Structure 1
Amino acid sequence: MSLAQRLKRFGLDYYLLLLLGTVVLATLWPASGAGADIVDQIAYFAVALLFFLYGAKLNTSAILAGVANWRLQGLVFGFTYVVFPLCGLTLAALLSQWIEEELAIGIVYLSILPSTVQSSIAFTSIARGNVPAAVCAASLSNILGVFLTPALVAILLHASGDGISLSSIVDIGLQILAPFIVGQLLRPLIGSFIGRHAVLTQIVDRGSILIIVYSAFSAGVVAGIWQEVGARSLTIIVLSDVVMLAFVMVGTVWAGRLVGLDRADRITLLFCGSKKSLASGLPMANILFAGQAVSMIILPLMLFHQIQLFVCAIIAQRAGHLASERELQAVSP
């Protein structure tokens, strides 16, 4: 039995080991200063390249079908901006007497953020889900989040700030929508080449996630937020994040089956409806909670981000392997 086969028996593979190694690397040698800026730029262009490849790979008709899939898009929106906030408010109320006020605020803040973009789509692709629908759901979630998250913060947490700059929308467009559109325009010229070299998209998929993990974990280590809370509070936050993620993931699976979504759409709902964006959450927190203990408020988000990446990586890998095995069985004589 090969090493890869032995790892699969325990739900592991080379990619998960790379994820673990990336966390160790960020802990021992975190990117800081100019190095952090370089890592952020690499991550930025890796994501742009990922969307360019998706644009060149996907049929326009499939993309339009993703937008028109109102049941899936509605469920993703409902879990992101309704189910998640209700769960966050409940947990914050139950735990407020055992944790610092800033951490309770952080739990609610985490729950009202938009979904991730790059990792949601990457995991959907790895698990053989509906990638066009994931592109639509994740992008729409982030565009709406620029307006909805500050509004929900003002309503639920009574926080105030100077608002979110429209440059956030421009950044989303430049990093995600523009490369995707360019890829679509160039699809007649390069679409067949990318289709024949699927490993290229796979490398960008997984490589972008590794870069994101390294960047996010480095930021936490450099900021020293792990030393700002006691062991009890840290344990409670980790458990609350796990409970929140488990509740929403089970809910997406149940809801997808209840409304009769097919397997590809259920995969998309699972990964797009259960994620929260660190990339959007950090800059928003600096504006919305100016003058407060921002590092404490974002701690639940930082931990949730790492937990969701590891959990989703395992689920996506196993779902992708099962899909591959089904395809092999279908074509075998």
Structure 2
Amino acid sequence: MPLSRLLSRVKFDYYLIALLATVAVAAVLPARGAAEPIAKYAVTVAVFLLFFLYGARLSTKAVVEGIAHWRLQSLVLLSTFALFPLLGLALTALLGRWLPPQLAAGLMFVCVLPSTVQSSIAFTSIARGNVPAALCSASVSNLLGMALTPLLVAALLATHGSGFSLKALTDIAVELLLPFGLGQLLRPWVGPWITRQKHVLSYVDRGSILLVVYSAFSESVVAGVWTHMDPWSLVLVFGLDALLLALVLGLTTAASRLFGFSKEDEITIVFCGSKKSLASGIPMANILFPGMAVGAIVLPLMIFHQIQLFACATLAQRYARRPAEAAALPAAGAVGA
């Protein structure tokens, strides 16, 4: 396909521009002095609101129905919380010594995060995959990630100076699980309104993440982290992120076909099992890496996030072009498989 035609079919990612602009603002005008505690308080409020909205929008019925497809869900979770960490350990063992400690820790941090929700479902839909199963996979991944990610950080990132404490678990519960639970509890009353306002509230979601990114990179700028970061390290992180994604995409595709999943289920496994959540990852990094240069740690995640969007947009278009007869097979028939 010609490049111009491909670009015309993939929506321009204005959010990427907003992320880069936020980093630029943090580099020029970081929150320091009296502005620093104000920024931290604003981040706490924004993250609370972000996870409250996640809880209020998540349909419990959809999760229950999706869990019935246990083989698919198991494969996605194994990819997210086992395959990714193993590949991360291998890559950092081979090439991590050429990276600054913060970027090496950040690369491993990418590998222990849950999957995305919105983009996993969107790409599965574009590719004509099993959308209900994708909704379940992404949602369950994020719920489990609130517990599994801190445990994996403790097990795999100790050599990078990160720690695991009861306080970290408490902070995760208070800042992430509590608002999520409140959202679920109030869903019968606020859910319909939120569904009607989803376009407006998407700006709240993304604005919250931009605020967290600004705060994290401000801390790094004030601490002088970027004065010691060489361009070669950034190029290497980009290459390792791309290699990591390519390996997971290839392995999840091969495993889906090996175990006899339908094409619709393969699409769900590939898209849900290969993504990492920026929305969950940055708030978690603020909690799990206290006193460290969080901006540098989340940089590999920001790079991975953009690579996965462009790569999966292209892949979704390829899946979508398959013959209609193949896509017409009922995915529901495989739910109990």
The question of a shared fold, defined as TM-score above 0.5 by the shorter chain, is answered with yes
2:118 aligns with 122
Query: Displacement, 1:206?
Result: 4.0
| Post-superposition offset of 1:203 | 3.8
Partner of 1:175: 179
Cα gap change, 1:274 to 1:321, in 2 (>3 Å): closer
Correspondence for 1:331: none
**Which runs of structure 2 are paired with 1:102-251 in the superposition (5 Å)?**
102=101, 106=105, 109-110=108-109, 113-115=112-114, 120-127=116-123, 128=125, 129=131, 130-153=134-157, 157=159, 163-165=165-167, 166-171=169-174, 172-183=176-187, 185-186=188-189, 191=192, 193-251=193-251
User: For structure 2, which runs of at least 5 residues remain unmatched after alignment?
Assistant: 126-130, 323-337
Structure 1 residues 213 and 124, CA, compared in 2 at 3 Å: closer, same or farther? farther
Residue 133 and residue 61 in structure 1: after superposition, are their counterparts in 2 closer, same or farther (change >3 A)?
same
Aligned: 1:270 with 2:282: no
Which one-letter code corresponds to 2:105 in the other structure? G
SS in structure 2 opposite 1:115?
coil
Query: Out of 269, 277, 299, which is 1:303 matched to?
Result: 299
CA contact (8 A) 1:121 1:134 kept: yes
RMSD between aligned residues: 4.1
Corresponding residue for 2:331? none
User: Shift of the alpha carbon at 1:217?
Assistant: 3.8
Question: Which deviations, in whole Å up to 9, do the C-alpha atoms of 1:38-84 show, x marking residues without a partner?
Answer: 441343133134214413xx3x3212123333233322332233222
Letter in 1 for 2:95: L
- The worse-fitting range, judged by mean Cα deviation, of 252-261 and 313-322 is 313-322
Moved more, 127-136 or 84-93: 127-136
Q: How many residues align?
A: 302
What is aligned with 2:49? 46
Cα offset for 1:227? Answer: 1.7
Kindly provide the CA deviation profile for residues 94-151 of structure 1, in whole angstroms up to 9, marking residues without a partner as x.
2255445x358526742553326xxx12323544453343121111122122334313
Greater mean deviation of Cα atoms: 255-264 or 131-140: 255-264
Cα distance change, pair 225–203 in 1 and its aligned pair in 2 (3 A): same
Q: Is the 8 A contact 1:213 1:306 kept in 2?
A: no
Q: How far apart in 2 are the matches of 1:96 and 1:13?
A: 30
- Compared CA separation, residues 158 and 16, structure 1 to 2 (3 A): closer
Deviates more, 1:212-221 or 1:65-74: 212-221
Superposed displacement of residue 302, structure 1: 2.0
Which residue identity does 1:74 align to in structure 2?
Answer: S
Q: Secondary structure at the match of 1:275?
A: coil
TM-score of the pair, normalised by structure 1:
0.70
Q: Could you tell me the TM-score, scaled by structure 2's length?
A: 0.69
Q: Which consecutive residues of structure 1, in runs of 5 or more, have no partner in the other structure?
A: 327-333
Residue of structure 1 in register with 2:333 after alignment: none
State the distance in 2 between where 1:111 and 1:305 align: 5
Query: Which piece of structure 1 moves more, 34-43 or 200-209?
Result: 200-209
Do the aligned partners of 1:23 and 1:214 also contact (CA within 8 Å) in 2?
yes
Deviations 1:246-281 (A, max 9, x none): 323443454455542664884575356431623323
Residue pair 2:257, 2:266 contacting (<8 A) in 1 also: no
The equivalent of 1:91 in structure 2 is 91
Change (3 A) 1:323 1:265: closer
Contact 2:106 2:300 in 1 (8 A): no
**Closer, same or farther: CA 6–13 of 1 in aligned 2, 3 Å:** farther
Query: More deviation in 173-182 or 247-256?
Result: 247-256
C-alpha deviation, 1:237, in angstroms: 3.1
State the identity %: 28
In structure 2, relative to structure 1, the CA distance for the partners of 1:315 and 1:25 (3 Å cut) is farther
